[in-house]
Amino acid sequence: MRSKLYPTEYLALLTIKYDVDADKFFNALIAAEKNQKAQCENLTIECRSKQNNNIIFLITQNTKVVAQLKIPQDLLTKKKNPIKEIRNNYLDEKHSTKKNTQPQTLQIKDLQIGMKKINLQATIIDITKPKYVITRFGNHARVANATITDNTGKIKLCLWNDQIDTAKPGNTIQIQNAKISTYKNEKQLRIGKNGTLQTTKTPPHKQTL
């Protein structure tokens, strides 16, 4: 992976960080090269010097220095704004990454160790007798394992404290924002502090394999 960004990449990231229009920013660079100085919304762009077909720009916001960088002079002669395309690519990638981190509704057969932010509907088959343990924070807690199914497979679900009291064999459960870990070489579904578990007595609709 490159440790250094190309000038167009850096400029594109500046337009995102300071929320300025890419076309206005590109036109302001051109104007600053001709007139020594230009304004682009909340940013001021100054042409400091020209060296070997490169232009050094100083970009400030009020009295704060945002960046000082060297840009190839021919970059400003391009008819199509190169900053805008790269900016759009960054925003599309950011949106895609954010979308992929949202909780996913899955079936048990799809679950793999390491998965996070999982939504799942299943039926409780059985629950082990609760055990009293001391957590890593030094608190006393009850823990039990439930075996659950959604007709595509079975998996163990770790239950804590009040979850044990509300979950009974035969209940339909709706799990949100859970993760898959491993315990004694066996996949296990865990509900973190940001997850939820809701139970009903109505069995889920049959799902097709």
Give the pLDDT score at 206.
Answer: 39
| Domains delineated in the chain | 7-100 (no CATH), 104-200 (2.40.50.140)
- Tell me: the pLDDT tens digits for 135-194? 777 788 889 999 999 989 999 999 988 888 888 899 999 998 888 888 777 889 988 777
pLDDT score, position 96: 55
Q: How far apart are CA 160 and CA 191, in angstroms?
A: 9
Whether 162 contacts 144, CB under 8 Å: no
Structure confidence at residue 79 (pLDDT): 86
38 or 140, which is more confident: 38
Cβ-based burial of 153 (10 A; exposed 0-12, middle 13-18, buried ≥19): middle
